[in-house]
Amino acid sequence: MIALSMVPGIGSIGSKRILQYTGSAEAVFACDGRSLKRIPGVGSLLASRILDKKVIENAAKELEYISRNGIKCLYYTEENYPAYLKFCEDAPLVLYVRGELKLEGKKVLSVVGTRRPSVHGLENCNRLIRDLAGRHSDLVIVSGLAYGIDYCAHLAALESGINTIAVLGHGMKYMYPAYHRKIARRIESCGALLSDFPSGERPAKNNFIKRNRIIGGLSEATVVVESGVRGGALITADLANSYNREVFAFPGQAADATAAGCNRLIKSHKAALIENFRDVEYMLGWDSKENPKQEIQGSIFPECTIQEKKILEVLKSEGESSVDLICFRSGLPVGKLHEVLLNLEFTGLIKALPGDYYRLVNL
């Protein structure tokens, strides 16, 4: 099955069509060229690629790598292949998994959005997942481990004590962005890293577009938290729509560029407008049999020392942190955040790094 998925140009749909005619992956490679060309959609070029000995050799190397590194394979023909995804015509033939992909009987929700979210977008993402997790312990959050909303969604799930799945746009040998290695390890320990790319596949723009079909197909519904008029979140929303899945979006102000994509989805009836977790529960028919977790609201102090302490605690627990993450974890308004960061930098407690990252000076 791995060898068939690695044939250049075969694609998810084409490989499954061939399996229907041959009955098994083993039978595909037992065919000669003439037999292969009798299968609809298989011409001389594709037949020659299937019969290329390098395909089997590459598959053997892949099997060796994944067995050494604790990577599991899920095949489209197996019963434990994710049920929602299996209904998608272009579902991958093979899924590579690090961690545990336990979705049976779970409420699975994809959460996506821009890589450059506003503070308001981060707050909406965090609040939605926190509130749903408090009422549905069987909730699983799916996202793409990119900067911005994806990172926020995974982090909110982890901190709420629920499982989360990160769908990667590359093979398991790599991690992009590299800064997310730390959270990737946390996801793997209480959820899963998932990819349909062989382990040696490097990060590439088209790969991230391709992986969006898994994000949209793996879940019952997709929430677009915040998005401009272009971007991967809108591609995921379109794919989810094509799979007849629910799509939800938070609305934004008309002049807000980061909300333009969400507003367009709502305006064109490609997404239902949501304002909070109750809207998601109502539209998906999720009845909560659990008591909402009592949220303990800490005291809010206007003094600068308390605000500084919040930031220092984030940097102490996370190490090097982006401004987005510090804003999300500290809860400080972005304007005030930059002011306090500047004060801490002047006092020598933190150091500014390239790309809007900060760290404690004693790390």
Among the ranges 114-128, 306-320, 322-336, which has the highest mean pLDDT value?
114-128
Q: Which of 61, 78, 99 is the last residue of a domain?
A: 61
pLDDT for residue 305: 56
123 in the same domain as 25: no
137 in the same domain as 241: yes
Query: Quick check: is 296 in a domain?
Result: no
126 in the same domain as 35: no
pLDDT for residue 301: 29
226 in the same domain as 123: yes
What average pLDDT score do residues 78-103 get?
A: 93
278 in the same domain as 308: no
Q: Residue 4: which CATH number?
A: 1.10.150.20
Better pLDDT: 205 or 334: 205
309 in the same domain as 278: no
Q: Residue 313: which CATH number?
A: 1.10.10.10
Better pLDDT: 13 or 354: 13
pLDDT for residue 51: 85
For the chain, how many structural domains are there in total? 3
308 in the same domain as 271: no
Q: Which of 29, 44, 61 is the last residue of a domain?
A: 61
pLDDT at 355 over 80: no
What average pLDDT score do residues 26-42 get?
A: 84
332 in the same domain as 195: no
Query: Quick check: is 100 in a domain?
Result: no
pLDDT for residue 145: 96
State the pTM of this model.
0.78
User: pLDDT tens digits, residue range 106-155?
Assistant: 999 999 999 999 999 999 999 999 999 999 999 999 999 999 999 999 99
Query: Quick check: is 197 in a domain?
Result: yes
What average pLDDT score do residues 59-81 get?
A: 93
Average pLDDT value over all residues in the chain:
88
Give the pLDDT band (50/70/90) at residue 288: low
Percentage of the chain beyond pLDDT 90 is: 58
Query: Quick check: is 83 in a domain?
Result: no
Query: Quick check: is 202 in a domain?
Result: yes
Q: Which of 224, 251, 284 is the last residue of a domain?
A: 284
Q: Domain span at residue 118?
A: 107-284
Query: Quick check: is 241 in a domain?
Result: yes
268 in the same domain as 174: yes
What average pLDDT score do residues 166-183 get?
A: 95
Percentage of the chain beyond pLDDT 70 is: 94
What average pLDDT score do residues 290-294 get?
A: 48
256 in the same domain as 313: no
309 in the same domain as 256: no
| 3-state DSSP of the chain | CHHHHCCCCCHHHHHHHHHHHHCCHHHHHHCCHHHHHCCCCCCHHHHHHHHCHHHHHHHHHHHHHHHHCCCEEEECCCCCCCHHHHCCCCCCCEEEEEECCCCCCCEEEEEECCCCCCHHHHHHHHHHHHHHHHHCCCEEEEECCCCCHHHHHHHHHHHCCCEEEEECCCCCCCCCCHHHHHHHHHHHHCEEEEECCCCCCCCCHHHHHHHHHHHHHCCCEEEECCCCCCCHHHHHHHHHHHCCCEEEECCCCCCCHHHHHHHHHHHCCCCEECCCHHHHHHHHCCCCCCCCCCCCCCCCCCCHHHHHHHHHHHHHHHCCEEHHHHHHHHCCCHHHHHHHHHHHHHCCCEEEECCCEEEECCC
pLDDT for residue 203: 93
Q: Residue 230: which CATH number?
A: 3.40.50.450
249 in the same domain as 114: yes
Query: Quick check: is 68 in a domain?
Result: no
Query: Quick check: is 180 in a domain?
Result: yes
